[in-house]
Chains A and B, each alone.
Chain A
Amino acid sequence: MASLIRSWIPLLILQSFLVAIAFGSKEAEEFSEALLLKPLPDRKVLAHFHFENRAPPSNSHGRHHHLFPKAISQLVQKFRVKEMELSFTQGRWNHEHWGGFDPLSSMNAKPVGVELWAVFDVPQSQVDTSWKNLTHALSGLFCASINFLESSTSYAAPTWGFGTNSDKLRYGSLPREAVCTENLTPWLKLLPCRDKDGISALMNRPSVYRGFYHSQRLHLSTVESGQEGLGSGIVLEQTLTVVLQPETTSVETNMQPSWSLSSLFGRKVVGSCVLAKSSNVYLQLEGRLGHESKNVDTEIEAHKLWKNADFDLSLKPDRVLRESSSLLFIFDIDKSSDSEPFDLGLTWKLPSKWSCQQAPLQATRFLMGSGNERGAIAILLKATESQEKLPGRVVTDGRCTIKANIFQIFPWYVKVYYHTLQIFVDQQQKTDCEVLKKINVSPSTDKVSSGMLEMMLELPCEVKSAAISIEYDKGFLHIDEYPPDANQGFDIPSALISFPSHHASLDFQEELSKSPLLSSFKEKSLVRSYTEVLLVPLTTPDFSMPYNVITITCTIFALYFGSLLNVLRRRIGEEERFLKSQAGKKTFGLKQLLSRLTAKIRGRPIEPPSSDSPAAQSSFLSSKLIFKIILVAGAAAAWQYFSTDN
């Protein structure tokens, strides 16, 4: 138990403080929080939580921290991680309605399950070891089975198809991973205020997990200090994106539902996290600008922006920013308190309709063929409506083209025949050299590594649809390699379609404050979209079969062996004579049976009646019976002994 102490040491060298070495630069660790709300065209609301934690360059990373999570910093130090992204996602991003050409969707639309990629700062030969150790550490940190990415059959090393060009990059995903609160809680632990205070207090678990889509993401990158002898800084970005359906009472179907923070989350914000440098709530309205004036100079006009004929905001925004097609209302939640909680609400007055900007091509992926032997995978790219308006077309040799990168990992038990790759553009088959600019294939090795396909397509601008198909054989797994519930099928991870010549960014011309959320929007991000996860049914054996086979074959062998032995020692002549004599004494049959019965009741050996031989035979018979009983009892006793022993 605890005991108490008295201090004793008469202290201690004050001058040693003077000698204390310089404490790096005096820059401190910084934390900021933000929430972006955005009504979606299909009557849903997107909420995007954004937390950023910056640790300045220092030599004491992994040892002394004030705001930055020590665990993450130690991870970076130990595994020499240069950049890493981990996402947990449930649900599928609806590219058609929720947008595909803005920074939000290109960064936060993630494949189902867990996706992890990391770039290491170690020699090429140690990258795989670092990756394996990292997966184990993350798996412990986030209570998830990320450690399954350790095996070389589940990750790949993309060269250029992923977007980040580095030979020290590793990528892996687990489509089957179920994401729930046990993953969110350790993620929240990394925030200085956790979900006790500030914007993160909104994360009411039932309402977050009731949504249509949620994706929690952790992105960290190291920033080189550039100074000699000084370590590098770390930027940790944590985001949670949820798409919620506000409860609506309105009967009108074309009317957008009105909502407030408390109706969406069941909670209100009662103040900012005191440790945050900035904590803001943003409301982004898209497609609102056609009929409004471009400059917001006067107070009345600004007022008009948030209380007008279309909609009403329950709180006055602190500032309003505008971009080419959207309005951004900024609210500072520092002023809210326990008595006056921040509860932003949006009330629609008139039916309103808008659409989101979409990626140039919309990708879907499906399986073809039937049976448990072979099949084909097809990726279909369809042109979207907004394709013509988008920038980023490349005109080469007088032709206007769209570039699309396809990055796909195949597990080894899906044995892809790369020569069967076929590309159709507008239903017409094209030879490879016409549209395929670049291809990188690394075939899979059975039970050792997964296959990887990277393709760069250059499609004409006026393309309506493009399809890629590739055939495969289904492999057989060893009985140990089947996962539990193998009959459900095996998942092929999502393919990543990215458009290298298209970059999404939102620039609100904001110079006043350096909001991390807005500056991350401002950065040009690669437009990318993930396809569906495919479920491939493989032949699954009956797992109790080995025992059945053993039992049946053994029984047949035993039967054969026993009858062979019996045949070998048969005496046919003697048996015939015995049968003949038996036939002669048929009248004594009943008597003999009786005498045997009485002998058995008395428990004595049969007294020799008129004839000797049947008596001798019967006594032999009874001893045989006793022997059999003893044998069975012995076997039972032995069984009992061994089974209780273990």
Chain B
Amino acid sequence: MEETSDRLNPTTDTSGVTPEFDPKTMRSTKPGLKRLFITTSVLFSFLLGVPFLWKSVEIYRSPLPFHDIDSLSDQIESTPLRFPCNLHAVFVGFESKDPDNLRSQIQDGINQLTHQSSQCGSCNVSISVTVQNLAEQCLETLAHNPSTCSYRCGVIIRNEFGVGLDDTVDESLNDVFSGCSENSGKTYSVVVVNKENANGEDEVIKAVVGKRRHAWVVGSGLEERYGDIVARVSEIFVKVFMNGGRDEESIHGEFMPVGSDGKIVLSFSLLNSNPRDWVYDWDFQRIDDALLAPVTKALAPIANISVESQVLYHTPKSSFSSWDEKLQSYIFRTSDLPFFVNSNEWHLDTSAGASGRSKILQFVVYIPSGKECPLLLQLPNGEISKTNGFISPMWGGVIVWNPESCDKDSESPIRNTISPQDLEQIVEIFLGQFRQLFGFKSEAIYTSGLGTYKILPSERGFTEWELDVLSRKHTCFNLHSCSTTLGSLSRLVRSLPRMIIKDEIGEQVKYSLKAAKLAQSNASLGGYSSSASSSREARSLAENAFFHPSIMSVSYFSYEHCFAVYSPFFLPVVGHIVLAAFREWKRYRQEKAKYLTWLTRKKTA
């Protein structure tokens, strides 16, 4: 490895040409490039290899549409979903009213009632008004879209309307408005009938909301106080048809007890807290067939409901109750309710059938033992609860059922069956609790500032307009939950750069976004069921992506692992190469400078 060109040769060079040649600062030959070339080429080949190495240790991350996710959640936050709804107000027996004027007044009333809460699942209202005068002639103002119901003039006869049972009136109104087209949102109708003041006395205004999508206000002398009537019409629409008659401060509308796969399991348990005192059994199969089947059928568009029942024994409650002398019974208070459910002894959750992401709602009928019979629930105001039950949102409800007599007559316990009448009562309470879990009230009367409305209950548990509210809320809830799930997934993915993301996840996210878009567009077109189903799909896909098992593999491809494997080789080698290249370059510059000084010296000489 001897290199002659690099060699400084003081003996030969100093002898002849110039006497000033200094071997320390000058050299006579050009500095060689071989070593510099070798070291730099090695260095560059290493540098070229870095991208390949980087590529080889790279993990697979399916590209997620972060931007779309963000825009979806922004959109859901900023512009709440609104469904188109049509309101058809029919004023019968009004002589001198201009329908356009009435329509704008109703519109004002609705705006006034809704302006502060433009929450998700509310309505985009289009109003049409028909006024039928005493001569049974009609003046109509139709909404912007022409597909609303047409009311055949003169079908409602002023003085014959509203006579008889409310149910039959409701049915007759259904016939009147049966020609409605449903393709652009649901149509709600309010009929105002101004009756002849027959008796001369001031008749009370009667306002009823039916089982379907109709309401009617009947009274006399309405023409004089028509401002009040218009306010009532808009109130019926906003408070009842649009918001389902629920209070804003009750259970928040965002909570829907529906599993992400769109299933609800209603698990009924009869708890005999001490079977040594008495044993009660029930014939739940009949209850299921006769009373619960219509409810589950009615709710089918919103959730797929299945019903289970079991009887459990030796299941004491975990809170204490105290004897009340005045009431001759044991009392437990609302403050004790958080401790009532005994999760140690009540093994309710044994449903293998509801695997997956179904929502299980527990409904518990608790039969107190002889030591605590009768057991009554005291309300905070000191009264005794009429239902003797309570609910826990998203979990279910508890009903305390006391046996008829609390005396143990015989030593050996008798096995009783709860009578059908008692069971009916229990199911009534259950239906009330079930409605409450969905956020509805269970009162037959809705009271507001302007007066009271009678609400006709449906034997299916939920009226049609309530189901409309539910499906609007359900779509909203699903979209909201989908966007939050996708949002947290995107945050998680962005915070962990070494996480493997499989194609499946990427696809699920993509389809979920697609379904969410579809749900939004369907909702704005008024397709209730199609938007509900695609929103459900969006939510379940988002949850599938978030709970994908492969997300767990993050820990196996950490940076530490990479360092541990590659640093023992690359750190020392790179050190060598970089240092060598640096030195060679430095030396080359130094030697070149020497050569240049010698050249200049030679030139000057």
Contact = CB atoms under 8 A, between A and B. Distances in A.
B436 A642 contact: no
A558 B309 CA distance: 71
B145 interface: no
A63 B307 contact: yes
Interface stretch (A9-17, A221-229, A400-408): A9-17
Contacts of A77: 353
Contacts of A646: 498, 558-560
Contacts of B573: 557-558, 561-562
A614 to B, nearest CB: 11
Given A9-B431, A66-B311, A571-B6, A558 B386 contact: no
Contacts of A17: 286, 290, 420
A355 interface: no
B7 A574 contact: yes
A161 B218 CA distance: 84
Contacts of A60: 285
Given A17-B290, A21-B289, A197-B276, A71 B564 contact: no
Interface in B19-44: 24-25, 35, 38-39, 42
B452 to A, nearest CB: 15
B308 A23 contact: no
B253 interface: no
Contacts of A194: 313-314
A16 B563 CA distance: 74
Contact of B308 (A70, A78, A561, A568): A70
B304 to A, nearest CB: 15
A550 interface: yes
Contact of A643 (B352, B560, B575): B560
Interface string A32-74: 0000000000000000000000000000101111110111001
A271 B276 contact: yes
B432 interface: yes
B443 interface: yes
B165 to A, nearest CB: 13
A517 B130 CA distance: 80
A241 B293 CA distance: 45
Given A66-B311, A550-B565, A2 B391 contact: yes
B429 A5 contact: yes
A211 B111 CA distance: 78
Given A2-B334, A2-B391, A7-B429, A64 B285 contact: yes
Nearest to A66: B311
Contacts of A5: 387, 389-391, 429, 432-433, 436, 442
Contacts of B413: 274
A13 B39 CA distance: 96
Given A11-B428, A20-B289, A141 B6 contact: no
Most buried by A among B25, B313, B428, B563: B313
Contacts of A550: 564-565, 568
Contact of B459 (A3, A12, A71, A574): A12
Contacts of B279: 274-275
Chain B, interface residues (CB within 8 Å), range: 35 or more
A572 B431 contact: no
Contacts of B291: 12, 16
A557 B569 contact: yes
B342 to A, nearest CB: 13
B170 to A, nearest CB: 15
A78 to B, nearest CB: 6
B15 to A, nearest CB: 17
Nearest to B293: A16
Most buried by A among B3, B568, B584, B586: B568
Contacts of A6: 386-387, 432, 442-443
Contact of B572 (A62, A137, A558, A572): A558
Contacts of B250: 3
B352 A141 contact: yes
A229 B261 CA distance: 30
Most buried by A among B35, B281, B337, B352: B352
Contacts of A602: none
A251 interface: no
A551 interface: yes
B9 to A, nearest CB: 10
Interface in B436-452: 436, 442-444
A271 B314 CA distance: 14
Nearest to B582: A627
Contacts of B459: 9, 12-13
Interface string A263-305: 0000000010011000000000000000000000000000000
Contacts of B424: 11-12, 14
Given A9-B457, A137-B352, A275-B275, A16 B24 contact: no
Nearest to B558: A646
A123 interface: no
B1 A4 contact: no
A65 B311 contact: yes
Given A10-B457, A12-B459, A613-B24, A75 B276 contact: no
B288 interface: yes
Interface string A562-590: 10011111111110010000000000000
Contacts of A568: 35, 38-39
A274 B559 contact: no
B218 to A, nearest CB: 22
Interface of A: 1-14, 16-17, 19-21, 23, 60, 62-67, 69-71, 74-75, 77-78, 137, 141, 189, 192-194, 196-197, 271, 274-275, 547, 550-551, 554-555, 557-559, 561-562, 565-574, 577, 612-613, 620, 627, 631, 635, 639, 642-643, 645-646
Nearest 3 Cβ contacts at the A-B interface: A554-B569, A554-B568, A558-B572
Interface of B: 1-3, 6-8, 24-25, 35, 38-39, 42, 250, 275-276, 279, 281, 283-286, 288-291, 306-314, 334, 337-338, 347, 350-353, 355, 377, 379, 385-387, 389-393, 412-413, 420, 424-425, 427-429, 431-433, 436, 442-444, 457, 459, 461, 498, 558-560, 563-565, 568-569, 571-573, 575-577, 580, 582-584, 586
28 contacts: A1-B338, A3-B250, A5-B390, A6-B386, A8-B428, A8-B444, A9-B428, A11-B428, A17-B290, A17-B420, A19-B290, A64-B285, A66-B311, A71-B350, A74-B351, A75-B352, A197-B275, A197-B276, A274-B276, A558-B569, A559-B572, A561-B573, A565-B576, A565-B577, A567-B1, A569-B583, A570-B1, A571-B3
Given A4-B377, A192-B312, A643-B559, 19 more contacts: A1-B393, A4-B390, A5-B433, A21-B289, A63-B307, A64-B310, A71-B350, A193-B275, A194-B314, A197-B276, A550-B564, A555-B568, A557-B569, A557-B573, A561-B573, A565-B39, A577-B8, A612-B24, A635-B571
